[in-house]
């Protein structure tokens, strides 16, 4: 306040003078809303008994409101039920002695066999239903192994750093330089894999070349989480580095891992179908969408439904997992949440 500032003795308001020397006083008006119009209970009401929601609780609350999540979840549940209980959806056992009759070769659809028959006289619908199990098992178990292997390598490299990070990062770069399908084709041609082709050999092969991507994502998430205040506080309280990694760092780095794993599950299903289509994946006696698509390529002009139905089931399954991954990503990303 200026030193020569004068005040009116009557009301205590400041007095100012203009250039002509005339003295005037001015008032500063303040508006205060009546208490009955804006009660404090309505403006600043807080639920004192309510517990703060965790990141996962907020993500679940966001997911329940997303139509994309609901639709993709229903589709995935339907695929899982078909893979677990195929006999509920068809009365024909493709593995039975009378399942394939040459007299039905390339016959069109009819009552009880609306998808028709393939070249060997097998019911296309029954084979498509029973082929869901092998394709889904490859995608599911490959994703589990990739998450465990890639997550462990990425977490160790990102948390400890130093020479451990250098060695593991260079090892990941070597495998990351090989494309998934090309590397799987080479490995599946090795005698140990070629002579023992099964669901598990395909799972192991895809896991060998699938973990580097997830390891990189885990490494970045762990590096970001290891410098958090709660990690430093746990270390100051005497918690060992490995215990802090397991109890605090990894649980707070799961969001990007879950998103990538959900999307990659569909990618591994496509990879299995591609290997089987090329004749280096599952053996011909194992029913899968890839094997059915491979056997249908020779009859594409004469009977295109042989390829259409397994390809349609494959596309819907992969699309459902991609949709689920997008919904989970939007829910776990705070910047993508509405009203954040």
| Contact partners, residue 296, CB within 8 Å, separation at least 6 | 118, 303, 306, 307, 310
8 A C-beta contact, residue 320 and residue 76? yes
Number of domains in the chain: 1
Residue 302 covered by a domain:
yes
CATH number of the domain that residue 88 is part of: 1.10.3720.10
pLDDT digits (tens, 9 = 90+) for 70-123: 999 999 999 999 999 998 998 888 877 667 778 887 787 777 777 888 888 888
Residue 221 covered by a domain:
yes
Residue 327 covered by a domain:
yes
Q: At CA 186, angle to CA 184 and CA 192, rounded to 5?
A: 95
Residue 206 covered by a domain:
yes
Residue 171 and residue 149: Cα distance in Å, rounded?
Answer: 13
More confident residue, 197 or 57: 197
48 has pLDDT over 60: no
Q: Which structure tokens are listed for 71?
A: 């639709």
Residue 244 and residue 247: Cα distance in Å, rounded?
Answer: 5
Residue 41 covered by a domain:
no
pLDDT digits (tens, 9 = 90+) for 239-250: 888 888 888 888
Residue 141 covered by a domain:
yes
DSSP, residue by residue, 223-278: HHHHTSHHHHHHHHTT--HHHHIIIIITGGGHHHHHHHHHHHHHHHHHHHHHHHHT
Residue 6 covered by a domain:
no
Please tell me the pTM assigned to this model: 0.78
Residue 148 covered by a domain:
yes
Helix (H, G, I), strand (E, B) or coil at 15: strand
**Whole-number pLDDT of residue 29:** 61
Q: Which domain holds residue 180?
A: 55-94+128-336
């Amino acid at each position: 306040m200026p030193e020569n500032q004068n005040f009116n003795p009557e009301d205590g308001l400041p007095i100012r003078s203009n250039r002509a020397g005339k003295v005037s006083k001015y008032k500063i008006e303040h508006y205060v809303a009546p208490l009955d119009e804006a009660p404090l209970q309505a403006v600043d009401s807080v639920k004192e008994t309510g517990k703060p929601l965790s990141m996962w609780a907020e993500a679940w609350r966001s997911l329940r409101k997303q139509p994309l999540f609901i639709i993709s979840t229903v589709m995935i549940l339907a695929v899982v039920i078909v893979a677990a209980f195929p006999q509920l959806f068809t009365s024909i056992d493709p593995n039975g002695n009378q399942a394939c009759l040459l007299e039905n070769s390339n016959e069109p659809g009819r009552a009880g066999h609306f998808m028709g028959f393939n070249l060997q006289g097998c019911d296309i619908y029954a084979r498509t239903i029973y082929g869901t199990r092998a394709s889904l098992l490859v995608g599911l178990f490959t994703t589990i192994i990739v998450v465990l292997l890639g997550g462990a390598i990425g977490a160790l490299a990102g948390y400890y750093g130093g020479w451990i990070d250098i060695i593991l990062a260079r090892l990941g770069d070597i495998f990351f330089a090989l494309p998934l399908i090309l590397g799987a084709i080479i490995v599946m041609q090795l005698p140990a894999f070629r002579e023992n082709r099964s669901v598990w050999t395909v799972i192991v092969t895809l896991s060998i070349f699938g973990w580097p991507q997830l390891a990189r994502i885990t490494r970045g998430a762990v590096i970001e989480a290891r410098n958090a205040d709660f990690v430093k506080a746990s270390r100051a309280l005497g918690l060992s580095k490995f215990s802090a990694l397991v109890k605090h760092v990894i649980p707070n780095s799961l969001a990007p891992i879950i998103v990538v794993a959900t999307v990659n599950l569909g990618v591994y299903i496509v990879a299995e179908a591609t290997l089987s289509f090329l004749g280096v994946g599952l053996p011909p006696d194992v029913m899968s969408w890839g094997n059915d698509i491979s056997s249908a390529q020779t009859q594409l002009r004469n009977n295109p439904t042989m390829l259409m139905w397994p390809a349609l089931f494959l596309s819907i399954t992969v699309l459902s997992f991609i949709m689920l991954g997008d919904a989970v990503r939007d829910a776990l990303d705070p910047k993508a949440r509405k009203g954040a």
